[in-house]
Structure 1
């Protein structure tokens, strides 16, 4: 067996893996914007988050309200890691706050890049 065959196989796997993020982005967006963006959301009302990519986070609130935060700049690794932390002394998370990407490195989570949030755009389910 020649060395060329395994090299071609490895190259094929690398290219296939590189195509996965592009395929995932083709998934249709289930939401459409509704109303004017707001500056802050109440932290105690955040039920969960859905990191869509390096610059978009959906905040799912109590009562199934959704607020989309489109970061003003891309936040490296956010879309891959899909987790972040924030620190605030207020009861609100606001467009002036900073999030920090969290990633696995060794025995626990490590802090990665920090990025600013944008305004929170109310969203609703897209009509079918």
Structure 2
């Protein structure tokens, strides 16, 4: 094994990891925008979330309604960790609220970057 083999391996790994986000973005989007964005969604209506990348979260609501939130800025590690928390004293999650990325860090989940939400864009399944 040559002395440069570990360096080549590290470089190959780094380049492969750098290409993953570009590959992931090639995945077709099953939704298209429908209607005007809204400022808030009802928390009790949120069934699940789908973090698409560092700026995009799909909120899947009761009745399979989907709202896409495109954050004003990239939120570090959100797309990798795919989980976050929010705190609000209201019954709504709004575009002025902050989410915090959660990551595994030893015992339990640790808090990462905190990022502001954008407006909630109603989405519908794209026709095939």
Aligned length: 128
Aligned equivalent of 2:76: 76
Aligned equivalent of 1:31: 31
Gaps of 5+ in 2: none
What TM-score, normalized to structure 1? 0.94
Superposition RMSD in Å = 1.1
| Secondary structure in structure 2 of the residue aligned to 1:107 | coil
Gaps of 5+ in 1: none
What TM-score, normalized to structure 2? 0.94
| Secondary structure in structure 1 of the residue aligned to 2:100 | strand
For the residues of structure 1 that align with 2:69 and 2:26, how far apart are their CA atoms?
Answer: 19
Give how far 1:20 is off.
1.3
For the residues of structure 1 that align with 2:115 and 2:9, how far apart are their CA atoms?
Answer: 38
After the TM superposition, which parts of structure 1 deviate over 6 Å for at least 4 consecutive aligned residues? none
Give how far 1:16 is off.
1.5
Give how far 1:5 is off.
2.9
**Mapping 1:1-128, distance limit 5 Å:** 1-128=1-128
